[in-house]
A and B are shown apart, each in its own frame.
Chain A
Amino acid sequence: MIIRVRFTKLGYLKYLSHLDLVRLFTRSFSRSNVPVKYSEGFNPHPRFSIGNPLSLGIESQSEYMDVEMSEEIAPNEFMIMMNRVLPKDIQIIHADIIDDKESLSSIIKWSHYEIYLWIEDTKKRQEIKENLDRFTSLDQVMIKKKKKKGKRKIHVDVDIVPLIGNVTFKGEDQDGYVIITALLRSGESGNLKPIELVTALEDKTNSGINLEMTRIKRLDAFAETEGNIYRPL
């Protein structure tokens, strides 16, 4: 039996690396006493996988994970038992049994982000909406992406327009951050990091964005099969 869960990664815990997160779940499975299936061998470890991991420093409202169980358990009970031992910023918010054989990382194709832009200059801040429109109407946006080739790291030129689903202006928050949302390709078959989008936006439009102050939150992730876009859970 496989349980698929949606969980959060908020606040300072956005600074946990993927490895730290794996360690946290490994410990939490055993502390919570949920019947997780363990691998065989000298050093048994619980069988679970987290769908396309977040980069360090990005918050998320919806991360996905598949957990293999050794016994039947009601998803709700699983969630309650786990949340009791998980920190408040990493909590399971939904759980269900899935029959899918396909792994999360193979089906997740899109991520939806909320991006907070810091624009010091008030005049430029007012122009951001137009700049965004200008940016999204470009036919081609070339950026340099780092790629690993064997052991070496090389830079390749990539057109990111096909990797962008949409970019929308949302408004300003009380601290003066400009909020936008973006649906970007995510996963093995094409990936655009939100910070790459913001860097390209600044490059092409000169919007006065302070890249270092950018804050990002993943709102959700989506699967895509045969043209259908849907939530993994």
Chain B
Amino acid sequence: MINRYKLDSILMKVEKPARYIGMEQNVIIKDLEKTKVKFAFSFPDVYEVGMSHLGMHILYNLINNVEEYACERVFAPWVDMEDEIRNADLPLFTLENKEEVRNFDFLGFTLQYEMSYTNIINILDLSKIPVFSADRDEHHPLVIAGGPCAYNPEPLWEFIDLFVIGEGEEVTLELMDLYSKHKDGSYSREQFLIDAAMNIQGVYVPRFYDVSYNEDSTIENRKPLIDGIPEVIEKRMIRNLDTMFSPEKMLVPYMETIHDRISMELFRGCTHGCRFCQAGMIYRPIREKSVDRLLELAEKLVESTGYENISLSSLSSCDYSQLHLLISSLMDRFEDKKVGISLPSLRLDSVSIDILKEIEKVRKTGLTFAPEAGSQRLRDVINKGVDEEDLVNAVSYAFKEGWSKIKLYFMIGLPTETDDDVVGIKRLAYLVKDLFFNRPKEEKIGNFSVTASASCFVPKPFTPFQWHGQDTIEEFNRKIRLVRGEIKDNKVSFNYHDPRVSYLEAIVARGDRKVSQLLYRAWKNGCKFDGWSEHFKYDTYLNTLKEVGLDGTFYANRARNFEENLPWDFINPGPNKQYLINEYTKALKGETTRDCRLGCTGCGIKDCAMWGVFN
């Protein structure tokens, strides 16, 4: 345990000290002397962000549910806290027992976005754990990582000892069990890693593989260095969501966080097949929890947290096959408790709005829709199965029901995009405005505004667009100016993401092993909290690219061909490469692919859990 008085004098000096004290409702503080395996779980961002992540609550309770295992949390200290603990020479500690992270058996990171990677290096350093895997020995924790970004683990290969690919509930416990067994003998870190790599599905130990490159810097070959470890890593997936572990408790922070509510997962996976969406591919196939199970969980969660809102969170929650039944049952059950229900994502149809009308009886706050692209042609390219009529219907309906603030989400830089498509963003925003003002006078309720929000498209591994070259920053800026120049109405506003951040994100997202040096040197040069605009240091990144001799355009802007050996090709996420190729080819021709609930579209998953259920 770290020095309590030292910690006290530091906490007096930092902003929001409640970030570092733990002690929340439903916290689990075990006697670490009596636990066999200690797991430090880290969301590599600040407390308020990490605590809003459902996966953290799941793993926390899952591990602590095992009597002899303990899971404690550690987040990225905010910059003021970092300065103080460095000055005081205090190693980074967990929130529960205020124990030094370096004294744990495992340090596990969840990889939710690439721009948090420098924070991972920083957390290792603050914990006084060698940042490079090769420099660690039996005295250090095993540093592991999982989460959606682990599907391309290579940019972090030097820092992480072991990755888990896919859903974490089963594999985390398998790893801890195996470790526990190894600990009973004469523990060797190397032996444990070999055993895990050989015998646990979804485990990737980068050190056990060698990668060779062609002259043009693309990958020539990748081969295992140890006999018996798999060449292809198969992702982990839970088949039955009703019987898997689902938390009945959630930690309730004292301070305000991004989501102050219960999060309940209705299902995993998504069947729409949007071609830009990584989650839509890697979480396939869709698997639902039953209404009964969800009601049971809701009851326990409301009881244990006292929260007054349940958010039904899934990739596209309105797809839940029994949504009406679920919502009406929830409303019945919690009517007198004043528990509200919210849906984070909405489809552009009246069914969604109907449900929304039901659950948001009083407050008519803003509504958000995501057409993603400004023209029908481009929406077909990305396979976003909504058309203008859907938008018109949904928005008209919303206005009739009393909503007056609409937000529209778009992406720019999508494959085949023309200036016409880009200007389509303005057209749709104006269409929404006209729909409001063309209503009869008595139906113009509220203070109207529409916001069009554009992000700069980042091609992601394991999507049909993984071969696409990202627009250059100049091109993004030109397109942004194009839309901005067209919008001249004070009821219509336009905002956009910083293309420079998207450029860096693209470099890392499709990076290979060499990118780890970029991250390391960038961190050395002071980069951290890159996802926070006030901390993002673009110039430092540009200089670091030069320093390590990497060409950013090679990773971000270069279009790959189908023959290229991609850095993540050794992972099997379910859908196969041929399917992604077919989808990309269809995209370029503007052909759509149906929702695979309506009939399997042959993505390549073996023994798909959906066969027989929906098809």
Contacts and interface: CB of A to CB of B under 8 A. Distances in A.
Interface of A: 11-13, 15-17, 19-20, 23-24, 27-28, 30-31, 42, 56-57, 85, 87, 89, 175, 212-213, 215
Nearest to A42: B362
Nearest to B9: A212
Contacts of A23: 254, 256
Contact of A12 (B9, B21, B255, B362): B21
A27 B252 contact: yes
Given A24-B254, A57-B11, A87 B21 contact: no
A83 to B, nearest CB: 14
Given A30-B308, A87-B25, A15 B9 contact: no
Contacts of B11: 15, 57
B256 A15 contact: no
B183 interface: no
B232 interface: no
A134 to B, nearest CB: 27
A15 B306 contact: no
A13 B338 CA distance: 28
13 contacts: A12-B22, A15-B17, A15-B18, A15-B21, A17-B255, A20-B18, A27-B307, A31-B306, A56-B12, A57-B12, A175-B5, A212-B13, A213-B9
Contact of B17 (A30, A42, A57, A89): A57
B306 A87 contact: no
Interface in B4-57: 5, 8-9, 11-13, 16-18, 21-23, 25
Contacts of A17: 16, 18, 255
A35 B13 CA distance: 39
Given A28-B306, A30-B308, A42-B363, A12 B254 contact: no
Interface in B303-321: 306-308
Nearest to B98: A12
- Main DSSP-derived SS at the A contact region: helix
B173 to A, nearest CB: 29
Contacts of B252: 27
Contacts of A56: 12, 17
Contacts of B25: 87
A30 B306 contact: yes
A17 B256 CA distance: 11
A45 to B, nearest CB: 11
A87 B25 CA distance: 7
A88 to B, nearest CB: 9
Interface of B: 5, 8-9, 11-13, 16-18, 21-23, 25, 252, 254-256, 306-308, 338, 362-363
A85 B252 CA distance: 12
A28 B25 CA distance: 11
B445 to A, nearest CB: 16
Nearest to A195: B12
Given A15-B18, A213-B9, A20 B308 contact: no
A53 to B, nearest CB: 15
A87 B16 CA distance: 19
Nearest to B20: A15
A229 to B, nearest CB: 30
B23 A12 contact: yes
A13 B23 contact: yes
Contacts of A28: 306
- CB-based closest 10 A-B pairs: A31-B306, A15-B17, A12-B21, A20-B254, A57-B12, A212-B9, A27-B306, A15-B18, A15-B21, A16-B254
A86 B23 CA distance: 12
Contacts of A15: 11, 17-18, 21
A100 to B, nearest CB: 30
Most buried by B among A20, A31, A213: A31
A15 to B, nearest CB: 4
Most buried by A among B5, B8, B12, B363: B12
A15 B307 CA distance: 22
Contacts of B9: 212-213
Contacts of A212: 9, 12-13
Contacts of A30: 306, 308, 338
A23 B5 CA distance: 28
B414 to A, nearest CB: 40
Given A20-B254, A30-B338, A213-B5, 17 more contacts: A11-B23, A13-B254, A15-B11, A15-B18, A15-B21, A16-B18, A16-B255, A17-B16, A17-B18, A17-B255, A24-B254, A30-B306, A57-B11, A87-B23, A87-B25, A175-B5, A212-B13
Nearest to A215: B8
Contacts of B23: 11-13, 87, 89
B86 to A, nearest CB: 16
A200 to B, nearest CB: 18
B83 to A, nearest CB: 14
Contacts of B18: 15-17, 20
A89 B29 CA distance: 15
Contacts of A87: 23, 25
Nearest to A216: B12
Contacts of A20: 18, 254-256
Contacts of B362: 42
A233 B8 CA distance: 31
A213 B12 CA distance: 9
A54 B558 CA distance: 58
Most buried by A among B13, B16, B25: B25
A57 B22 CA distance: 15
